[in-house]
Amino acid sequence: MEQEKGMAAWTDLMMWSFLQPGSAARPNIKALKEAVNDLCKMTMQKTAGQRKKSKDISWDNLERVKFTIICEAVLLVLSGKLDGLEENENESQH
């Protein structure tokens, strides 16, 4: 029982380690864009995902879509790839 608790804690730690600054994880821009587009589509579809139309996205996917956006956005910030955009924005304001 104690060993199972220790393994669960270790698994939780390893699962979130990719979000630590300096980790080897890299942002997946394509996945981020797809998830954002899916979220936009879900909020605009007239069926709210209740009826199974071929092009509608079920609201059962909402948690997955939100989690993908959160994780990929964090990785994008940690990667430093947004720093250049921020610098360009600051230069254009002056």
Q: What is the pLDDT of residues 46-80, one digit of tens each?
A: 776 566 666 788 888 999 999 999 989 988 888 88
Whether 33 has a pLDDT exceeding 60, the answer reads yes
Decide: helix, strand or coil at residue 4.
helix
Q: Which residue in this structure is represented by tokens 């910030």?
A: 77
Which token pair is 51?
A: 């009826």
More confident residue, 52 or 32: 32
Q: What confidence score (pLDDT) does residue 29 get?
A: 93
Which token pair is 28?
A: 């997946």
Give the separation between CA 56 and CA 63, rounded to whole angstroms: 16
With pLDDT > 70 as the criterion, what percentage of the chain qualifies?
66
Whether 4 has a pLDDT exceeding 60, the answer reads no
Helices then strands (H, E): number in the chain?
A: 4, 0
Whether 1 has a pLDDT exceeding 60, the answer reads no
